[in-house]
A and B are shown apart, each in its own frame.
Chain A
Amino acid sequence: MNTTFRILFRKLSSKPVFSFITIFGFTVGIAASMLIYLWIYNELSYEKFHPGYQRIYRVLTLSKQGDKVVKSAGNYRPMASTLEKDYPQIEYATYISFSSEDSPLQISDEDEKIDGRGCWLNESFFNVFEGFKFREGTPELALSNPSGIILNASLARKLFGNQPALGRTVIINKYFREEFTVSAVVEIPDQSHIYFDYAYSEKNSRIVALSNSWSDKAHVHVYFKLRKDAVIENEFLSQITNHISRYSKITDKLMFQPIADIHLYSDYETHHYDKNIGSYIYIWIFSGLAILVVLMASLNFSVLSVARASERLTEIGMKKVNGASRFQIASQYLSESFLQTFVSLVLAIILVWITIPLFNNLSGQQLQLTLTFKLLFNLVVLTSFVGITAGIYPAWYLSSLTPAGIFKDKTPTGSGARILKLLPLFQFAIAIFFIVATAVFIRQMNYIQSKDLGFDDKNIVVVPTGLWYGNKTFKEELLKHPGVISVSASVYAPVDFAWKMSIPYTRGGTNDSLQASLFWADENFAETYNLELVKGRFLQMSYEDYWEEWKKNRPNEKEKNNQISLPVVINETAEKQLSFDDPVGKRLGNYVIVGVVKDFHFRPLQHPIEPMILTNDPQNIMSVNIRVAPENRAETLKFIGDTYRKHRDDRTFSYQFFDDMLQEKYKAENYLRNLTFLFATLAILIAMLGILGMSVFSITKRTKEIGIRKVNGARVSEILTLLNKDFIKLVVIAFVIASPVAYFTMNKWLENFAYKTSLSWWIFALAGFLALGIAILTVSWQSWKAATRNPVEALRNE
């Protein structure tokens, strides 16, 4: 081993360029793999901190909505207790019933209010989810007190600082004043899809009557834990999927999802109550990126080792002549490979430690490099395999050379030569793929950001208000400020509105129904968002008019043919679907169409524009949208906050700008773009190093030939052409191979978007030219040196 070390050290220091290429390549490759490994490990570890997580399932419902059957995580509160009661296979069943809006919490009536999102739980919750750590209190007692409240550790810190919270009083005074006693403080780790700021028991008197209601499906999630010895048979599955029919005539049926699958494999519209929902597709994508980079680095080593075999022929020949076996030769080269990869591993760990904050920034993760035994073991295994597989070919090849062949020809032949040609081809194919992918990601994100959404989304402040009937005076007061241009109340901001309803209508004597998003907004909505009206007028109904109109919905009035007629405005997509000659004045159930607006995007661009109906309903107002002047925004925001606090002293004031809310919807795509850009850079770097190494080697081999050509009158340009053309050919072939793969892959990715940029030919051309340019520059540097070298020197050395 000492000898191997000494030989390796001598070889590395004698050829610093090649040494740098191989070690740098390995380091970068291993570092990239480590980062991706940490990311994937984090992604795959969701929910696994719960003991017995393999037995925990979320209960999903399948229900008919309109013409379709829709899968959903929404469920019914009595589901948990009835499942636990009816099936011996189920050890515990629980539910979480979320509040749809924040409530203000304070430790005394005079103290600051902190907003938190609450929920209530049944007593089996911590039997199912045993992994939540209790900073204070115990799982056994946390939900035993009907007036108890469980705080998330972060909320407890905000309320009580570093003081213990257990046993302290917390006041929630929203629609009415309630006092709770802190019964526990829990830590909710990041790798959980469940999140709440506070929770209380279903035994709380205010809500105890609701725990038996088969309704409010949207806000409830149900889970259960199977017994360890549970036997799952078809009969059990048949009964449990039809469980609801035992208690209610709702036609919903049940399906079951292992909780470890929720984070990556939720193939249904996940509610905003689920935290941190990802996708397994990104696991594949990032794994693929890491594989490619490692592959490129390993290829560099393998092929350059073979390419440099001629420098070590004498050494190999002498060893064989002195009795070294093939195994011994191969072992030596494998050892060298191992050692280089392990040196790279150490460097890679340092590199990861330095760059992990940057990676977290680019990927939106909070990864940490914790050198646990498991991680080190996995790294050692990975590095060993990389070392083996990188070194096995050269070891096999070099050990197969015979002394006679070596001392006679001094030229390695056969497969080694072919592989030399494949290296730059493969590397540049990967690099071109990365360049195309990065360009497409950047183009798509630019397209998304610059696409006309059909309304003006700039300078709009969105204030979540919770349910608020009396927002009229607040709006009027805001408008007195010169910095406030327009104010409108609506259910939410039109960022990602997915609520749909089926609305009946009649056309030409035929009954039909329109599946549309029913969006509630007031009469100022079009003005605030600059919606374009294409027919009729916008909503002009105030809340008082609304209530007045609603009174017509009485049997006596109906006998007079006084139909309720609530005005609505539809979008162009709804207009097309309805196919009326002129939709203005036509009825949709209780609604009458008064206008049509130009289509606008009320969901992120992954979704197409679907039919939408805008109407006013004071019982569904949860947000205020305020268009502000771009100047003096800070001062305007302060005014808005002060005014809001005057009107809603039961809530804390918070706001977001509309364009920021929209950007959050593209978080995953932005991270993908960032990481692809990073990997593209690495790939190009490694490819450059690879081709540099190859060009150095190749040119060195042809020193004599270049000298002779020059002596015979060859010009520098002819020498350059001669030396570059092989590499250029390889890059062109790489382009031909990479382009269809890149096209297919990017096309598939763009299918995730309803609105997408085009895969223009020039993206591929740009990638090709870029790759070619990098190759030419890299090779030309060495070629120029060789071409301009004094031929006398070249020939003398030969």
Chain B
Amino acid sequence: MKARMFFIISLILFTSCKQPNKLKLDEESIASEIILLEEERQNNLKFEFGQIQQTGSSNILRVKEDRSGNKDRPPIILDLIAARNNVQKVKASELFTGIDYIKLQPLPDSTFYEVGADFLMSDNFIYGYSLNGIAQYDLNGQFLKYICKNESYYTKYEGGVMTTREQAAMFVGALSPKLFQGKLYYKYEDRPAKMAVYMEYEETGDLQVLNLSGLNENTGHIRGLGKPFMQLQHIENFLRIHEMNPLGNGLVGIADNRRGGAAKDFLTITSSSGDTVCTFRDFDPIENYSKSLMRGAESAFDYMIDGILHVRQAYNDTIYQVVPPNRMVPKYVLDFGEFSIDSSLEGVDPGYDLSEKLLPDKFLETNKYLFLTYTKDYECPNTAKNGTLKYSRVVYDKSKNIIIPVYIDEAPVIPKGKMTWPEAPNINIENDIDDSPFIWPAMTTAFGVPFTWFSRKQPNDRLPNKTFGNFTLGENDYVIAIYK
């Protein structure tokens, strides 16, 4: 009986043995290491961000806003209603003397621009940025290095990209880069750690390698190049973007874009230590709004030209120049006459019918021109589908003080796929300088010269099979076109 039991038990033991684990590890000691690492990380982050606050200046006094205009230079009123007549084909040679193309070297990370791309040009470098970070090129298009590689999460689908709240909450990396006086500034957010800083990167062409493990020589756990310039309040509502603009002398302008609701202030100028220097109030606040739905009919915009920040608040017709520390001077007024919306409430209240109203869409000021796109009805997939959304484009010649209507009330281009955003068509400007299609300029170089970019990945208004300058456009190539 004993033998019988011994045999049976042995059989069971043998057959039920676990698979031998060649990679067996001590779970308890690993767990202890993790706890220590987490503690160290928390302590380091507090230390880093604590240091930034200590270095800020506390000598700046708060001053009252000054919005008085310049009598010698009143704002330029752009009569956009009068400019809706006499649409005619425009030749590129009437606006520019030539077009230079820079083909950008494909990045090591082929997915970097998968969900869109924007570009900046400084005196010496080109910066490409997307949800995946910021890349630096020289002016020949040669890739130099990443300034920051983001940990960003989104779902890509045909024609667009979607980010859930949970994905947005995991974001770590750079947003909204801006160039100012030879430096690149960008917001660095570490949302899981609930920390955010404004970073300042001194432009250099050195092949500085971005340490992707998270440890940066100068800044500890920040994964971007540069140094922290200013600590930011953690932005918990990721849908709301505060545009930050460096103003020099340690000052930063923070503009609320009014998307998603009322702002207390139009623009706030602070020092790098976070002290408020001046606030420019919102004279058309969205207050006492009781409805459950709010429409985001248009966005504010801000831009730099000649080293001066220009801002426009959403649902407002005036573009201001910001003269730190406390002046805002009106520069342009977008006059839509009876077709403009009268208040911000009209813009946000879905009860107001905007189908006959004209709203600014995109605005670019260059050294010679203004490039303006505006819409009839507000821009969204539904208005595009319903046929009420129309686009218009005009060019304002600064030297001649004339508005050239490029096209008026044209139907939008609707990319393929569900949940995609309509776009203005690229029509009516004939490129007679070379045979390439003309793409509406999107940004300016450091010298105020307009440029744009295109790629086969953006099928909407971009291109088929042309050669540009000395090259042929490949599938993954991005090309910068500078309109001189």
Residues in chain A within 8 A of chain B (CB atoms) = 40-41, 44, 54, 57, 62-64, 69, 71, 175-177, 205-210, 212-216, 226, 232, 237, 240-241, 245-249, 251-253, 255-261, 264-265, 280, 283-284, 287, 291, 294-295, 298-299, 302, 385-386, 389-390, 392-393, 544-545, 547-548, 550-551, 553-556, 559-560, 619
How far apart sit A385 and B233, CA to CA, in the bound complex (Å)? 77
| Closest chain A residue, CB of each to CB of B3 | A389
Closest to A48 in B: B19
B164: chain A residues at CB < 8 Å are 619
* 8 A-B pairs in the complex with CB atoms less than 8 angstroms apart: A62-B27, A176-B417, A210-B153, A213-B152, A246-B213, A255-B30, A389-B4, A545-B292
Asked if B8 and A40 sit within 8 Å, CB to CB, the answer is: no
Q: A206-B155, A291-B8, A386-B4 are contacts. A551–B260 as well, Cβ < 8 Å? A: yes
Is B249 interfacial (CB-CB < 8 Å)?
no
Known: A71-B27, A547-B292. A554 touches B240 (CB 8 A): yes
Given contacts A62-B34, A71-B27, A208 and B418 within 8 Å (CB-CB): no
Identify A176's interface contact among B3, B157, B240, CB under 8 A. B157
With A and B bound together, what is the CA distance between A206 and B114 in angstroms? 10
Query: Judging by beta carbons under 8 Å apart, are A62 and B31 in contact?
Result: yes
Which residues on A sit within 8 Å (CB–CB) of B18? 258, 261, 264-265, 280
Confirm or deny: B111 has a beta carbon within 8 angstroms of a beta carbon on chain A. yes
Most buried by B among A40, A57, A251, A295: A251
Distance of B449 from chain A, by nearest CB (Å): 32
Contact among A205, A249, A252, A386 for B214, CB-based, below 8 A: A249
Tell me which residues across on chain A come within 8 A of B41, comparing CB atoms. 249, 251
- Residues B156 and A209 in contact, CB atoms below 8 Å apart: yes
Interface residues of chain A: helix, strand, loop or mixed (majority): helix
Query: CA separation between A258 and B24, bound complex, in Å?
Result: 10
Of the listed stretches B9-17, B313-321, B339-347, B349-357, chain A binds B9-17
* Bound form: Cα–Cα A550–B240 in Å: 12
Q: Is the CB of B292 within 8 A of A206?
A: no
The size bracket of the interface on B is 35 or more
A-B complex: 6 closest residue pairs judged by Cβ atoms: A249-B214, A389-B4, A544-B292, A69-B31, A258-B19, A256-B23
> Is B154 interfacial (CB-CB < 8 Å)?
yes
CB pair A261–B27 under 8 Å, yes or no, is: no
- Point out the residues of chain A lying under 8 angstroms from B7, CB to CB: 385, 389
Collect the chain B residues with CB atoms within 8 Å of residue A252's CB: 34
Q: Within the complex, which residue of B16, B153, B212, B418 is in contact with A215, where a contact is CB–CB below 8 Å?
A: B153
A797 to B156, CA, bound (A): 98
Output the nearest chain A residue to B149 by Cβ-Cβ distance: A212
Cβ contact within 8 Å between A554 and B30: no
Q: Which residue of the partner chain B has the closest CB to A547?
A: B292
Task: Give min CB distance, B428 to chain A, whole Å.
Answer: 32
B445-475 near A? 1/0 per residue, CB < 8 Å:
0000000000000000000000000000000
Contact B31 A206 (CB under 8 A): no
What residues of chain B lie closer than 8 Å to A175, measured between beta carbons?
157, 418-419
Contacts of B34 on A, CB cut-off 8 Å?
Answer: 62-64, 69, 251-253
Contact partner of B151 (CB less than 8 A), chosen from A206, A215, A260, A280, is: A215
Instruction: Tell whether A302 pairs with B1 under 8 Å between CB atoms, given A253-B34, A260-B19, A553-B236.
Output: yes
Are B153 and A213 in contact, with the CB atoms below 8 A? Answer: yes
Whether the pair B35, A64 counts as a contact (CB closer than 8 A) is: yes
Answer yes or no: B170 CB below 8 A from chain A CBs: yes
Given contacts A64-B35, A209-B114, A554-B237, contact A248 B214 (CB under 8 A): yes
| A385-B4 contact, Cβ under 8 Å, with A44-B15, A206-B158, A291-B12 | yes
Please pick, from B38, B156, B165, the residue contacting A206 in the complex, using a CB distance under 8 A. Answer: B156
What CA separation (Å) do A619 and B167 show in the bound complex?
12
- Chain A neighbourhood of B157, CB < 8 A: 175-176, 206
Return the chain B residue nearest A178 by Cβ.
B158
**Distance of A220 Cα from B202 Cα, bound (Å):** 40
User: Judging by beta carbons under 8 Å apart, are A205 and B22 in contact?
Assistant: no
Q: In angstroms, how far is the closest chain A Cβ from the Cβ of B1?
A: 7
Tell whether, in the assembled complex, residue B155 and residue A207 are in contact, meaning their CB atoms are under 8 Å apart. yes
Given contacts A209-B111, A215-B170, A555-B235, contact A261 B151 (CB under 8 A): no
In the complex, chain B residues whose CB is within 8 Å of the CB of A259: 19
CA distance A64 to B16 in the complex (A): 32
Identity of the chain B residue whose Cβ is nearest the Cβ of A303 in the assembled complex: B1
Contact present for B30 and A393 (CB under 8 Å): no
Stretch from B261-269, B368-376, B435-443 that touches the partner: B261-269
In the bound complex, residues from chain B placing their C-beta under 8 Å from that of A256 are 21, 23, 25
CA separation between A705 and B340, bound complex, in Å?
123
Q: Which residue of the partner chain, among B1, B170, B263, B292, contacts A548 with CB atoms under 8 Å? A: B292
Additional 16 contacts, C-beta under 8 A, given A71-B27, A206-B155: A44-B15, A176-B157, A176-B417, A208-B111, A209-B111, A210-B153, A215-B170, A232-B23, A249-B223, A255-B25, A256-B23, A261-B21, A544-B293, A550-B237, A551-B237, A619-B164
**Residues of B contacting A560 with CB < 8 Å?**
264
Question: Which residues of chain B come closer than 8 Å to A264, judged between CB atoms?
Answer: 18
CB contacts (< 8 Å) of B212 on chain A: these are 247
B198 to chain A, nearest CB (A): 14
Chain B stretch 224-242: residues in CB contact (< 8 A) with chain A: 233, 235-237, 240, 242
B residues 16-71 near A (Cβ < 8 Å) are 16, 18-23, 25, 27, 30-31, 33-35, 37-38, 41
Q: For residue B5, which residues in chain A have a CB less than 8 angstroms away from its CB?
A: 291, 295
Residue numbers in B under 8 Å from A237 (CB-CB):
23, 25
Find chain A residues with CB under 8 A from B25 CB: 237, 241, 255-256
Give Cα A553–Cα B194 distance, bound, in whole angstroms.
Answer: 14
Instruction: Determine if A255 and B156 form an interchain contact, defined as CB atoms under 8 angstroms apart.
Output: no
Query: Contacts A245-B213, A294-B8 known; A226 to B22 CB distance under 8 Å?
Result: yes
Which B residues are CB-close (under 8 A) to A283? 12, 16
| Bound: A556/B276 CA distance, A | 13
A253 and B418 contact, CB distance less than 8 A: no
In angstroms, Cα B16 to Cα A265, docked, is 11
Structural contact, B156 and A207, CB atoms closer than 8 A: yes
A251 contacts B38, C-beta separation under 8 Å? yes
B15 CB contacts on chain A under 8 angstroms = 40-41, 44
Contact B153 A177 (CB under 8 A): no
Q: Is B21's CB under 8 angstroms from A253's CB?
A: no
Name the CB-closest residue of B to A299: B1
A213 contact from B151, B261, B419, Cβ within 8 A: B151
Partner among A248, A249, A253, A392 whose Cβ is within 8 Å of the Cβ of B33? A253
Name, among B8, B263, B292, the residue most crowded by chain A CB atoms within 10 Å (CB to CB). B8
* Min CB–CB distance A296 → chain B (angstroms): 11
Q: Which residues of A contact B38 (CB under 8 A)?
A: 64, 251
Using Cβ atoms and an 8 Å threshold, which residues of chain B touch A295? Answer: 1, 4-5
B-chain residues with CB within 8 Å of residue A63 when the two chains form the complex:
34
Report Cα–Cα, A474/B414, bound state, in Å.
31
Residue numbers in A under 8 Å from B213 (CB-CB): 245-249
CB distance from B159 to the nearest CB of A (A): 9
Chain A residues whose C-beta falls within 8 Å of the C-beta of B33 in the assembled complex: 253
Given contacts A44-B16, A249-B214, A261-B21, contact A556 B263 (CB under 8 A): yes
B331 in the interface, Cβ–Cβ < 8 Å? no
Q: Please report the C-alpha to C-alpha distance between residue A336 and residue B30 in the assembled complex, in whole angstroms.
A: 60
- Kindly list chain A residues whose C-beta atoms are within 8 Å of the C-beta of B153: 210, 213, 215-216
Report B-chain residues with C-beta under 8 Å of the C-beta of A258. 18-21
Write out the residue numbers on chain A whose beta carbons fall within 8 Å of the beta carbon of B30. 62, 69, 241, 253, 255
> Are the CB atoms of A287 and B16 closer together than 8 Å?
yes
Min CB distance B180 to A, Å, is 23
Asked if B115 is an interface residue, CB under 8 A from chain A, the answer is yes
Residues of A within 8 A of B263 (CB): 556
Task: Give CA–CA (A259, B155) in the complex, Å.
Answer: 31
The chain B residue with its CB closest to the CB of A546 is B292
B200 within 8 A of A: no
Please name all residues of chain A whose beta carbon is closer than 8 Å to the beta carbon of B8 when the two chains form the complex.
Answer: 291, 294
Question: Is B256 on the interface with A (CB-CB < 8 A)?
Answer: yes
Is residue B362 within 8 Å, beta carbon to beta carbon, of the partner chain?
Answer: no
- Residues of B contacting A389 in the complex (Cβ-Cβ under 8 angstroms): 1, 3-4, 7
